[in-house]
A and B are shown apart, each in its own frame.
Chain A
Amino acid sequence: MDAITLIALVVGGSAALSWPLGRYMRWAMDPITMNRPAARVDRWFRAIGGRAAQAGQDWQQYCVALLVFNVVMFSLSFGFMALQEWLPLNPDGKTALEGSLVFNTAASFTTNTNLQHYSGEVSMSHLSQLCALMWPQFVAAATGIAALTAMARGLAGRPTLGNFYVDLQRATFLVLLPMAVVVAVLNVLGGMPMTLAGAVKALTLEGPEQVIARGPVAAFVAIKQLGTNGGGFFGSNSTHPFENPGFFTSLVSTVAIVLIPMACVWMFGRVVGRVRHATVLFVVMMVLLLAKAGAAFAGENAPTQAFLGLPIAMDVSNLEGKELRFGAAAGPLWAVLTTCTSNGSVNCMHDSLNPLTGLAPMIGMWLNATFGGVGVGMINMFLYVVLAVFLAGMMVGRTPEYLNRRVEMHEVKLAVLAMFTHALFILGGTALFAASPWGAGTLNNTGAHGFSEMLYEFSSAAANNGSGFEGLGDNTVPWNVATGLVMLLARYIPILLPLAIAGSLAKKRATAQSAGTLGVESVTFGVMLLATILFLGALTFFPAAALGPVAEHLQFMK
C-alpha cells in the first residue's frame, strides 16, 4: 500500500471514529442528564469509592486524591515486581530484578510512560507483566482522562471539578475496559498468542534449539495501545511477530494508538460546551500530525546509507530495523503517531531510522500536544492555548480572555512554568549525560547519532512517551534514577499546574463577550495557536536538533 492510502485509511479512519467516541466519553465521564443507566452505574462507583467519593472536590482536593492514588499504584507495581520471584504465575522462573530498574519501571508505568529499560520476555514473570505493568496501563491512562475531565469542568465554570475516585472508575470501566476487550479480541483473531503457559522449546530444522517465549500477549497489547502506554510485552515491542503478527494487527494497533487521544479533544469541547473551539484545536493538531508524517515518509525513502558501494540493490527504502509484513510505509507513520500521542510503542527500531526521519518522532515528543497522551495531551494543548491567548491579547492590547474568563498573570506564570520544566528536563538531562560518563559510556552509535540517543531518551522520559533509540545501554543506575525522576516530575507537574489554572479560572466571574474579545473558534485563532506552538518549539529545541539528527544528516546522507 502506498503512503497516502495508508495515512488516509489510518488517520482518516481514526478521526472519523473519534467523533462518536468523543460523544460517548462525554456521556461516560461527565454525565449531566442523569438518565437511568448512567445514574445506576454512578451509584456503584460512589459505593465502591465510599465516603470520599460522595462529594465534589475543588482543584486541591482533586489533585491530592489523584496523587494519593498514584502513590498507591506506584507502590503496588513496585511490590509486584520486587517480589516476582516468590509470587505465582512465573512459569519460566524469572528471578529478582535490580533495585534501580524496579524503581524506573514502576515510575515508568505509573506515569503512563512505559519507558522500558528491561526486556519483557527476559526479565518479567507473567504476574509482573499483568499486575505490575498491565494494571497501571489501565489506571494510569484513566488518571489522565480523569484529570482532563476535571480541568474541563473547571473551565466550564462548574462549582467543583468533580470527584477523582468516581472519574477514575468511569474512565477505567466505561471507556478503557470495553475498548480493550474489543481490541484484544481483534488481536486474538489476528494471531497473537494468549496463554498463561511459559516458554516452549523448539527443535529447529537445522538442529539448534530455539526457546520461544509466550504469554498473555493479545490482552496486554490491547490496553498498551489504547491507553497511550506503549510498553511492550516483549522487549522489541510491536516489531515482534507475537506482538504484531501481520498487516491487519498493525492496522488495528495504529488506529488504537490515536483513537482515544483524538476523542479526548471532542470530549473536552463537549464538556466546556464549545465544540467549534474543539474543532479548531483538532485541526491544528491534525496539521502538525500530517506535517510530521509527510516529513518522516520523505526521510525514510532514502535507502540504508551504510550499504552504498556494496553489491546491494538500493532501490528500496531503509529496511534496517523494519519488518516486511507491515509494508514500507508503516514504519514512519507509526513512528510519528506513537510520538504525537505519548504512546511509545514501535513497529520499527527508531534508532535505525534515517537521521531526519528520527527527528520527526523527537519533534512529536518536544511539542507533546499533537493529540498527545490520553487526557494529558489535551491538557498540554490547553497550556499552549493559554500562551496563545496571552500573546494575542498582548498584540491587540486587551486583557486576554479564554472561555469568557480573564487570563491574568497568575495563570500565564503557571503555564510558562509547566512549559519550562518540559524543556529543562530534556535539555538539562541530555547536557548532563552528554558531559559525563553516565551517558557517554552507554552509547551504541558514535558521533551525532550517539548524542541523538541521549537526547531521545530524555525527550521520551519528559514527554512520558516511552519509545527509545534502543541501542542506548540504558539499564544502568544513573539512567534508571535520572529518567525515573524525570518521568515522575514530568507527569505530575503538567497535570497539577493546569488543574491549578482551571481552578483559578473557575473562581473568576464570567465576563460578557464583546466585539473586542478574541474568538477562540476562528481560523485566526487556529493560525495564532499553530504559530505559538511552532515558535516555542523551534526556539527551545532547534539547537539540540542541530547537534543530533541534523548534523548526522549533513555529515552522511548523500
Chain B
Amino acid sequence: MESFVTCVRLSAVTLFVCVGGYILLILGFAQLFCPESANGSLVVRSDGVVVGSRLLAQGFTAPRYFWPRPSAVGWNAAGAGGSNKSPTNPDLTVRAKGTVAAFGATPTQPLPAELAAASGSGLDPHLTERGALYQVARVAAARGLPEAEIRELVLRCAFSPGGGLTHSRLVNVLEVNLALDGAR
C-alpha cells in the first residue's frame, strides 16, 4: 500500500514536470522564435486563405502543374501513410503501369523511379531535380510557355537538402507550382 501511494505521487510529479513543464517550455520557445514552422509551415495567400503547407505534398493532376510522387493515401494530411507493399508485390507493377501511362513514359524516355514509387508518408513534398525536369515539357505545353523558361524556374527552385553533405538536388513541388502561378 505504501509503495502504491509512493508510485501515485511519483506519477503526479513526473506528469507535472515532464508533460506540463516540458511542453510549456518547448511551446514557448517554438512560438516565440519559430512561429511560422511551429504552426505547420503554412502557405497563406494574400487574402488570408491557407493553400497548404510547404512541408506537405498536395495532389496535382492538371498538366499545367508539376506532379508530386504517388501517394498511397491520396495526399491525406490527416491520415498519412505508405503503400506498405513489398517491392516484389505485383500490385506495385499494376500501379506503376498506371503512373507510366499518366506521364506518357516510353523506353527511350524512361520515368525517373521516384515518380513511380510512393513515398513513406504519402506526403513527400519533394521531387529530385531530374524528376521535375522530366515534367518540364508537359507543363510548358499546357501553359503555352517556352520550355527554357520552365526549366530555368525548376533549376532556380532546386536545393540540396543537406547543404554540402548531400549530392542530390531536390525541388519542392508546391513551391515550384506557386512560382509557376506567380509567373503566369
Q: Is the CB of A470 within 8 A of B113?
A: no
A314 to B51, CA, bound (A): 35
Partner of A241, one of B26, B92, B123: B123
Q: Is the CB of B34 within 8 A of A69?
A: no
Return 30 A-B CB contacts under 8 Å, by A number: A68-B3, A69-B11, A131-B19, A138-B14, A169-B13, A173-B17, A177-B22, A181-B25, A191-B41, A194-B34, A206-B59, A210-B58, A212-B50, A212-B78, A239-B82, A241-B121, A247-B161, A304-B113, A306-B92, A311-B106, A312-B113, A314-B113, A319-B117, A320-B82, A323-B124, A324-B114, A327-B168, A352-B84, A355-B87, A355-B88
- A308-360, CB < 8 A from B: 310-316, 318-328, 346-349, 351-355
CB nearest to A243 among chain B residues: B121
Q: Is the CB of B23 within 8 A of A130?
A: yes
Query: B residues within 8 A CB of A210?
Result: 52, 56, 58-59, 75-77
Q: Is the CB of B80 within 8 A of A304?
A: no
A324-B26 in contact given A50-B6, A188-B38 (Cβ < 8 Å): no
Q: Which of B7, B60, B96, B114 has the most CB of A within 10 A?
A: B7
Which candidate, B125-133, B138-146, B147-155, is the interface stretch facing chain A? B125-133
Q: Is the CB of A1 within 8 A of B107?
A: no
Q: Is the CB of B92 within 8 A of A304?
A: yes
A324 to B88, CA, bound (A): 21
Q: Is the CB of B37 within 8 A of A193?
A: yes
Q: Is A234 an interface residue (CB 8 A)?
A: yes
Partner of B27, one of A138, A195, A327: A195
A471 to B128, CA, bound (A): 27
Q: Is the CB of A122 within 8 A of B18?
A: no
Apart from A206-B58, A310-B100, list 16 A-B contacts with CB within 8 A: A64-B3, A68-B4, A72-B8, A73-B11, A172-B14, A189-B34, A194-B38, A212-B52, A219-B26, A312-B110, A313-B112, A316-B113, A321-B83, A321-B118, A444-B85, A470-B84
A172 to B15, CA, bound (A): 11
A351-B114 in contact given A200-B42, A306-B92 (Cβ < 8 Å): no
A352-B86 in contact given A202-B50, A241-B125 (Cβ < 8 Å): yes
Q: Is the CB of B19 within 8 A of A130?
A: yes
Q: Is the CB of B77 within 8 A of A212?
A: yes
A307 to B61, CA, bound (A): 22
A195-B120 in contact given A51-B2, A131-B15 (Cβ < 8 Å): no
Q: How far is the CB of B47 from chain A (nearest CB, A)?
A: 11
Q: Is the CB of A211 within 8 A of B78?
A: yes
A316 to B117, CA, bound (A): 11
- B46-84, CB < 8 A from A: 49-53, 55-56, 58-62, 65, 69, 75-84
Q: Is A274 an interface residue (CB 8 A)?
A: no
Q: How far is the CB of A326 from chain B (nearest CB, A)?
A: 8
Q: Is the CB of A1 within 8 A of B167?
A: yes
| Residue-wise interface mask of A (218-248) relative to B, using a CB-CB cutoff of 8 A (1 in contact, 0 not) | 1100110000000000111001111001111
Query: B residues within 8 A CB of A241?
Result: 53, 55-56, 121, 123-125
Q: Is A33 an interface residue (CB 8 A)?
A: no
Q: Is the CB of A138 within 8 A of B121?
A: no
| Residue-wise interface mask of A (174-210) relative to B, using a CB-CB cutoff of 8 A (1 in contact, 0 not) | 0001001100110011011111110111111110101
Interface residues on A, range: 35 or more
Q: Is the CB of A311 within 8 A of B18?
A: no
Q: Which of A1, A138, A188, A318 has the most CB of B within 10 A?
A: A188
Q: Is A522 an interface residue (CB 8 A)?
A: no
Query: A residues within 8 A CB of B126?
Result: 323-325
Q: Is the CB of B117 within 8 A of A304?
A: yes
Q: Is the CB of B52 within 8 A of A240?
A: no
A316-B114 in contact given A196-B27, A324-B170 (Cβ < 8 Å): yes
A240 to B88, CA, bound (A): 24
Query: B residues within 8 A CB of A470?
Result: 81-82, 84
Query: A residues within 8 A CB of B183?
Result: none
A319 to B124, CA, bound (A): 12
Q: Is the CB of A219 within 8 A of B27?
A: yes
A121 to B40, CA, bound (A): 14
Partner of A48, one of B9, B15, B34, B52: B9
A223 to B10, CA, bound (A): 19
Query: B residues within 8 A CB of A69?
Result: 7, 10-11
Q: Is A469 an interface residue (CB 8 A)?
A: yes
Q: Is B102 an interface residue (CB 8 A)?
A: no
Q: Is the CB of B50 within 8 A of A321?
A: no
Partner of A211, one of B27, B77, B83, B167: B77
Partner of B120, one of A76, A138, A188, A348: A348
A202-B59 in contact given A121-B79, A241-B124, A327-B161 (Cβ < 8 Å): no
Q: Is the CB of B30 within 8 A of A218?
A: yes
CB nearest to A357 among chain B residues: B87
Q: Is A168 an interface residue (CB 8 A)?
A: yes
Query: A residues within 8 A CB of B166?
Result: 1, 247, 327
Q: Is the CB of B87 within 8 A of A354?
A: yes
